[in-house]
Structure 1
Amino acid sequence: MPRTEMTVGELIDQLSTFDPNTPVHLAMNPFFPMEHRLEQVVQATDVTGRAVVYLAEGRDADTQFGHLPPEVAVLLAWQGPVQAPPRRPRRTAGGK
């Protein structure tokens, strides 16, 4: 099944359901999920001559917030919910 690219119209439709004063962050790299501040939106032409809109992070050192919260990675289906391992019974001082 071929992947389709999100269009500006689809992005606007999805964003229109949120409070317009809500900050926008980028979730990057599903294998090492990080969170970035969105700073710029620009339009350019790609190598095929199509117009493309790019969402870009900033240049400042604090533009990357750090690891993406686990619950967001789960919502994006980048990772599954993590369960704590079962607890083992504690050993007594006698080693039994």
Structure 2
Amino acid sequence: MGRHRRGAKREVTVADLIDELRRFDPRLQVRLAIEPRMPQEHAVGAVTEADGVVWIGDAGRLGYAPDEVRDRLGWT
């Protein structure tokens, strides 16, 4: 979602994020994966808007994400 096919970063809109999340069971928990080399699992915090951008806050590190997360995110 956050990259073009050639690997160049692109901006993700609220609509993009909503479309991606609709694929999943709405009862599932949400986590942030950070650091491609050693994926860490972070909880999602507050969500707000400032300066025309929606910000998703980090609610703290929970540990390391399973290897499957790195694979599915294409970080291998």
1:76 is aligned to 73
- Provide the secondary structure at the position in 1 that maps to 2:33: strand
Correspondence for 2:64 among 62, 67, 76: 67
TM-score (norm 1): 0.66
- Provide the secondary structure at the position in 2 that maps to 1:9: helix
The alignment status of 1:6 with 2:6, answered yes or no, reads no
Bigger CA radius of gyration: 1
Q: Partner amino acid for 2:53?
A: V
Structure 2: unaligned runs, 5 residues or longer: 1-5
The number of residues matched between the two structures is 70
CA deviation profile, 1:9-51 (whole Å, cap 9, x unmatched): 0000111121111111000111331000102111111xxxxx1
Distance 2:20 2:61 in 1: 24
RMSD: 1.4
1:55 is aligned to 56
Structure 1: unaligned runs, 5 residues or longer: 46-50, 80-96
TM-fit CA distance, 1:3: 2.5
Q: Partner amino acid for 1:73?
A: R
2:3 is aligned to none
Correspondence for 1:33 among 25, 33, 39: 39
TM-score (norm 2): 0.81
Give structure 1 regions of 4+ aligned residues with deviation exceeding 6 angstroms: none
